[in-house]
Amino acid sequence: MTASAGLRPAPTLVDRVRAYSVLLRTGSVVAAAVLTVVGARLGGGPGPAGRVALGVALVAGAVAFAQVVNDLADVEVDRLGKPHRPLPAGTVGVPAARAVALVAAATSLGAGAALGAAFLAGAAALVGLSWAYSRWLKGTVGLGNVVVALLTSTPLLVGAAAGGAVGPRALTAQLLVAVFMAGFEVVKTGLDRDGDRAAGLRTLATTVGLRPAARVGAACGVAFVAAALLASRLGADPVAYLLVMGVGAGVPTLAAAVLLVRGREPGDLRRPFGLLRLAWFAGIAALALL
């Protein structure tokens, strides 16, 4: 038997990069950056490239911070429900994750300061609210879901303000994203019910049950589709917008709503959750056409 027998192989550089990418949830960071650019367009942009780039940095830093502090707060919860996550798995150490969070927050605040006092205040609000969510608000019934919806939709307003001005199209897009994400997050509480219950978190799924939570998610989905179709009146090319939003986002969202009303167990939530993820990306593309 060799000295290394039974020991886990040392992680390679690729393994470390992948672990940090998972920790940061780079997909969410990229989506927030894209929403910022879309917001700049909806605000009458694209506007000065430098200002839009700073807006992207502000948002990306805030979102990255939110993801890391959330994982830091959930280490023990994830040991039960998501042991593959970088922190409980040990592929990223807690001190390193804290350093990443500090860099991300500094990036957001620095970009905000470069854009002006109002943007600095906005960046501070995003960072502060993200921290409060991870520490206190995520374990509240419904309120945590509303906070996430607000944080997720804010990049549109940041982009609009950086690229031009916050007008009706940007505000409408922000509302659509907020309604969609509220339902998305409620459905996610159903998938996370067992881990959240073991950790003592009070969410819709752990307090009122899976079926009522699923119905709330379905109602948000239907409200999103109705509002998204009405928003076509604001677009320069309503036909293209309706095609992408209706087929790409509306159809899977309504299909998810039907499954949510009919489902009974946590396993029944996986398919509608997957449909909502598909609708999310199609919805971002549609907003660019608004």
Q: Indicate if the pLDDT at residue 3 is higher than 50.
A: no
Is position 78 within any domain?
A: yes
Average pLDDT over residues 61-88: 87
In this prediction, residue 203 has a pLDDT band, given cuts at 50, 70 and 90, of confident
CATH number of the domain that 256 lies in?
1.20.120.1780
pLDDT band at 84 (very low <50, low <70, confident <90, very high): confident
Say if 4 falls within a structural domain: no
The reply to whether 3 falls in a domain is no
In the chain, which ranges are E strands? none
Q: What pLDDT does residue 174 have?
A: 95
Domain of 199 in residue numbering reads as 167-290
Task: Tell me, yes or no, whether 5 lies in a domain.
Answer: no
Can you tell me the mean pLDDT for 123-127? 96
Quote the mean pLDDT of the chain.
88
172 with 131, same domain: the answer is no
Q: 69-73, 117-121, 156-160 — which is least confidently predicted? A: 69-73
Q: What confidence tens digit (pLDDT) does each residue in 87-116 have?
A: 888 889 999 999 999 999 999 999 999 999
Looking at the fold, whether 178 and 243 belong to one and the same domain comes out as yes
- How many whole angstroms separate alpha carbon 176 and alpha carbon 288? 13
* Over residues 180-203, mean pLDDT: 85
Q: What is the mean pLDDT of residues 244-269?
A: 86
Is residue 2 a part of any domain in this protein?
Answer: no
- How many domains are contained in the chain? 2
Task: In whole angstroms, give the CA distance from residue 204 to residue 212.
Answer: 8
In a domain? residue 89: yes
- Please indicate, yes or no, whether residues 59 and 193 belong to a single structural domain of this protein: no
- Whether 9 is covered by a domain: the verdict is no
Say if residue 24 is in the same domain as residue 157: yes
Last residue of a domain, one of 125, 143, 166: 166
Q: Which of 140, 166, 192 is the last residue of a domain?
A: 166
Instruction: Look at residue 278 in the predicted model and tell me its pLDDT.
Output: 94
Q: 49 pLDDT band (50/70/90 cuts)?
A: confident
Same domain, 160 and 18: yes
Residue 111 contacts by C-beta under 8 Å, 6 or more apart in sequence?
54, 55, 57, 58, 61, 119, 123
Q: Is residue 166 pLDDT above 80, yes or no?
A: yes
Q: Are both 160 and 177 inside the same structural domain?
A: no
Check pLDDT > 70 for residue 7.
Answer: no
Q: Does residue 276 sit in the same domain as residue 201? A: yes
The reply to whether 128 and 203 lie within a common domain is no
Domain boundary among 139, 166, 193: 166
174 and 223 part of one domain: yes
CATH number of the domain where residue 100 is located: 1.10.357.140
Buried-exposed string 70-107: b where 16+ CB fall within 10 A, e elsewhere: bbbbbeebbbebeeebbbbeebbeeebbeebbeebbeb
Q: Is residue 76 part of a domain?
A: yes
Q: Are residues 128 and 149 in the same domain?
A: yes
Q: Are residues 19 and 146 in the same domain?
A: yes
Same domain, 152 and 69: yes
Q: What are the structure tokens assigned to 286, written together?
A: 């549609």
Q: What is the mean pLDDT of residues 130-155?
A: 88
